[in-house]
């Protein structure tokens, strides 16, 4: 029978299925960070258990790590809770072990969803879990990857398995060529704009079509990263030459005969012709314009050529109420052109957009504009996703471009994506952000977030307000 990519990976990992559909799924890769692992390790400790397969665990500290003051080492972590989470991870990995650990201050440290693929910890066909909702990112490799809760983290550490129910199959096809200046981020925001944040609930989404195939691995990661924002716990892209090329030679990737065998298997990781999808959504790539969120949910998104929506034009009372509340929180007037929204801060980073390509895209825009960060922008910061991304960007001189224009060039981590460290918005501040969530208070209490691509964020920093990057290209 013709199977989808999701069906294939699922079948390959099911150990047992109960009559009600609950399955025991074998887990190949367990990514661990400091926020959702302390109680899990404590649980193991109290039960006198060990980690079932130490070689499956790859860990790093990312959410709480500061992006400045690394020369002061652990003393540079101002917040005592942040410091405790980071040192607790160090102690847990020292006690329980891991295949690889990239602690605070180490060069390969970074956002868990950046360092996984970078180190070859994420491989096609794997089941990948992490106590983090953006684990969907790793689906870009044709891996079944999703976030789990802390009690599940403990379960996977102890048993190497997860209890799961199979989701339905959704296919999102994006066909055609993207316009100049339109990126993977715009594609995924446009998808969420179309299907809504609940559109993917209960599904695993496979992203396909010529526009998705045309994306780099970085771009595919950006798209899968936000599958969770579309309601789906996992997103997938079929394996092709780009996938295999990206993985080749990474520290944890197979070598020699094992590599050959793995590649032969990986080449089967695509949906069969005629495989059944429960839902199919199609988008025309040529119609996608640079996107900007205007509200407090990723689905509150429009093309840069649009205006802030008018709640009075919405017939559905609950939707009208949601628009009104969002506009009030965001401090926006209906009908205002998105181009005319001025920003106070700019954040280029997060597991959505902090890879080398994102750095290049933002730097290219800054270079093209040839001007400094606008006077009204209090802070424009670039936070690479990992130490390796940072080093690569510096080899290419990107940091010089950013610094010369007045951007701050920081140390890697989650940073102002969720403001668990010192990087945050003050109440009422408005931010152009390349991250993935624009919920109330996400980047700091009272902060106002507009989600955009790296090029759009860079252009907003220089102009001081949003601009259509297609007109700058
Ligand atoms: C801290 C962590 C549990 C959380 C997540 O699961 O996604 C965070 O990474 C986020 O982006 O909100
Ligand atoms: S960068 Fe943001 S979205 Fe990604 S893992 Fe960190 S906090 Fe979560």
What local confidence, expressed as pLDDT, does residue 221 receive? 99
- Ligand 2 touching residue 414 (CB < 6 A): yes
ipTM over 0.95: yes
Residues 265 and 404 in one domain: no
Assess whether 68 and 160 both reside in one domain: yes
pLDDT average, residue stretch 174-195: 98
Do 171 and 156 lie in a common domain?
yes
pLDDT computed for residue 235 by the predictor: 98
Is the beta carbon of 85 within 6 A of some atom in ligand 1?
no
Sign of CA dihedral 182, 412, 301, 140: positive
Structural domain tally of the chain? 2
| 202 shares its domain with 91 | yes
Which protein residue's CA is at the shortest distance from atom 1 of ligand 1? 35
CA 454 to centroid of ligand 2, rounded, Å? 16
CA distance linking residue 108 with residue 105, whole number of Å = 9
Return the CATH number at 324.
3.30.499.10
Pocket-testing residue among 350, 419, 441, ligand 2, by greatest number of atoms within 8 A of Cβ: 350
Q: Whole-angstrom Cα distance, residue 443 to residue 4?
A: 37
Return phi, psi of residue 57, to 5°. Answer: -95, 130
Domain region containing 394: 292-471
Do 285 and 335 have their domain in common?
no
Residues 281 and 296 in one domain: no
Flag whether pLDDT at 473 surpasses 90: no
224 is in an annotated binding site: no
C-alpha distance from residue 166 to each of 50, 144, 199, 200 (Å): 28, 11, 17, 14
Is 431 labelled as part of a ligand binding site? no
Q: For the segment 4-25, what is each residue's pLDDT rounded down to a tens digit?
A: 999 999 999 999 999 999 999 9
Q: Of 289, 306, 335, which one is at a domain's C-terminal end? A: 289
Residue at which a domain ends, from 248, 266, 289: 289
**Whole-number Å distance between alpha carbons of 205 and 182:** 22
If asked whether residues 191 and 225 sit together in one domain, one would say yes
If asked whether residues 336 and 234 sit together in one domain, one would say no
Residue where one domain finishes, among candidates 289, 312, 344? 289
Q: Does 74 share its domain with 194?
A: yes
pLDDT tens sequence across 292-344: 999 999 999 999 999 999 999 999 999 999 999 999 999 999 999 999 999 99
How far does the centroid of ligand 1 lie from the alpha carbon of residue 133, in Å? Answer: 6
pLDDT of residue 319: 95
Do residue 189 and residue 312 come from a single domain? no
Q: Are both 460 and 318 inside the same structural domain?
A: yes
Within this chain, do residues 218 and 207 fall inside the same structural domain, yes or no? yes
């Amino acid at each position: 029978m013709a199977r989808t990519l999701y069906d294939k990976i699922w079948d390959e990992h099911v150990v047992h299925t109960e009559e009600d559909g609950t399955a025991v799924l074998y887990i190949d890769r367990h990514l661990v960070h400091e926020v959702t692992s302390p109680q899990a390790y404590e649980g193991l400790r109290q039960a006198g258990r060990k980690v079932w397969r130490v070689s499956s665990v790859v860990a790093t500290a990312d959410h709480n790590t500061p992006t400045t003051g690394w020369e002061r080492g652990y003393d540079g972590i101002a917040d005592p809770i942040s410091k405790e989470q980071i040192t607790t991870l160090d102690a847990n990995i020292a006690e329980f072990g891991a295949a690889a650990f990239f602690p605070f201050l180490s060069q390969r440290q970074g956002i868990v969803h950046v360092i996984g693929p970078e180190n070859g910890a994420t491989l096609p066909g794997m089941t990948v879990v992490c106590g983090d909702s953006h684990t969907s990112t790793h689906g870009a490799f044709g891996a079944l990857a999703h976030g789990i809760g802390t009690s599940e983290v403990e379960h996977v550490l102890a048993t190497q398995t997860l209890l799961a129910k199979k989701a339905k199959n959704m296919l999102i096809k994006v066909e055609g060529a993207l316009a100049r200046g339109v990126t993977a981020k715009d594609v995924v925001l446009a998808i969420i704009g179309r299907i809504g944040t609940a559109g993917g609930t209960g599904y695993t989404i496979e992203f396909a079509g010529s526009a998705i195939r045309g994306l780099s691995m970085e771009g595919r990661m950006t798209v899968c990263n936000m599958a969770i924002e579309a309601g789906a716990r996992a997103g997938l892209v079929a394996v092709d030459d780009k996938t295999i090329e990206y993985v080749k030679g990474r520290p944890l990737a197979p070598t020699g005969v094992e590599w050959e065998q793995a590649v032969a298997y990986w080449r089967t990781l695509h949906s069969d012709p005629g495989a059944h999808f429960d839902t199919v959504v199609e988008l025309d790539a040529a119609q996608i314009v640079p996107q900007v969120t205007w509200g407090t949910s990723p689905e509150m998104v429009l093309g840069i050529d649009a205006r802030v929506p008018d709640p009075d034009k919405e017939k559905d009372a609950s939707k009208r109420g949601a628009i009104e509340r969002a506009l009030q929180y965001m401090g926006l007037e209906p009908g205002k052109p998105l181009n005319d929204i001025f920003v106070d801060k700019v954040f280029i980073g997060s597991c959505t957009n902090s890879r080398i390509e994102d750095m290049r895209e933002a730097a290219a825009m800054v270079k093209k504009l040839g001007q400094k960060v606008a006077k009204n922008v209090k802070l424009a910061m670039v936070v690479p996703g990992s130490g390796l991304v940072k080093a690569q960007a510096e080899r290419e001189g990107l940091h010089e471009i950013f610094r010369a224009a007045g951007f701050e060039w920081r140390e890697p981590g989650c940073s102002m994506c969720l403001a668990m460290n010192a990087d945050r918005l003050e109440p009422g501040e408005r931010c152009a952000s390349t991250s993935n969530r624009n919920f109330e208070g996400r980047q700091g209490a009272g902060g106002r977030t507009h989600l955009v691509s790296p090029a759009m964020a860079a252009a907003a920093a220089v102009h001081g307000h949003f601009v259509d990057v297609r007109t700058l290209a």
